[in-house]
Amino acid sequence: MESLSDVGADGAWKQIDLYRLFAFAFGMPSSECFAWLQRPELPAWLAQLWDKLGCEGAFPGVTTFPDYEDYESTYLAIFEVGVPGPPVPLQESAHDDANPAPQTLLENISFYDVLGLRVDLTRYAPDHLVTQLEFLSAVRYLHESTADGDNRHQLACLERDFLERHLLNWLRTVRTRLACEDAPLFPMLMTMLVAFVQRRMQFVSTARMPEVSPP
């Protein structure tokens, strides 16, 4: 797999795990991500990915941040700070009115336990978008790395169930709320993320059952 720092280079998108890419793009502000957002070839690469994912409408174009301070302050003002909370928090529990927050957190952790993964709470909460995307990246990697038909099917079901019960349970709401924010890049990236996870949902939902040998 190519390094995320190569994203935007000619043809590099074909080797990139988009779960990892969007976790990188929606992570806490960093100089690495800001440098990526400033790459001159990025607009053309995103336009290509927009079409590849089948996003609705014409590609909206890319408006970049003038400097790191603007990028950081925009991210924090939208996703992290506000009264009584940020306009668009990136945690599932902030958007799930049907279940209490502790239950949402525990359900996420239960999925991570299937792979023996532990959440680093000094980075992100168990139901944070970045945590969820990193988990899905791990599931996809294992699915694509195993030749065992039973394991592949079980991993496809794990990815499908998590997408259905969690990520797709709240990302569309985030997309709608983020579209109302006057901010560069993030609304467009969220539209692309939703399109991507919908495509993944279709893929893992149609994954074939492993063939069973006759007794």
How far is the C-alpha of 195 from the C-alpha of 184, rounded, in Å? 19
Amino acid identity of residue 192, one-letter, is: M
Residue 24 belongs to domain spanning:
4-205
Q: What is the mean pLDDT of residues 139-158?
A: 87
How far is the C-alpha of 135 from the C-alpha of 112, rounded, in Å? 7
Separation of first and last alpha carbons in the chain: 40
Residue 101 located in a structural domain: yes
Q: What is the mean pLDDT of residues 47-59?
A: 92
Residue 196 located in a structural domain: yes
Give the count of domains, the chain: 1
Confidence bin at 212 (pLDDT 50/70/90): very low
The structure tokens listed for 90 are 């990136």
The structure tokens listed for 198 are 């919908």
Q: For the whole model, what pTM was predicted?
A: 0.88
Residue 172 located in a structural domain: yes
Amino acid identity of residue 109, one-letter, is: I
Give the range among 65-79, 86-100, 143-157 with minimum mean pLDDT: 143-157
Nearest in space to 201 (alpha carbons), one of 171, 170, 156: 156
Residue 212 located in a structural domain: no
Q: What is the mean pLDDT of residues 110-134?
A: 92
CATH label of the domain that carries residue 156: 1.10.3480.10
Residue 154 located in a structural domain: yes
Residue 60 located in a structural domain: yes
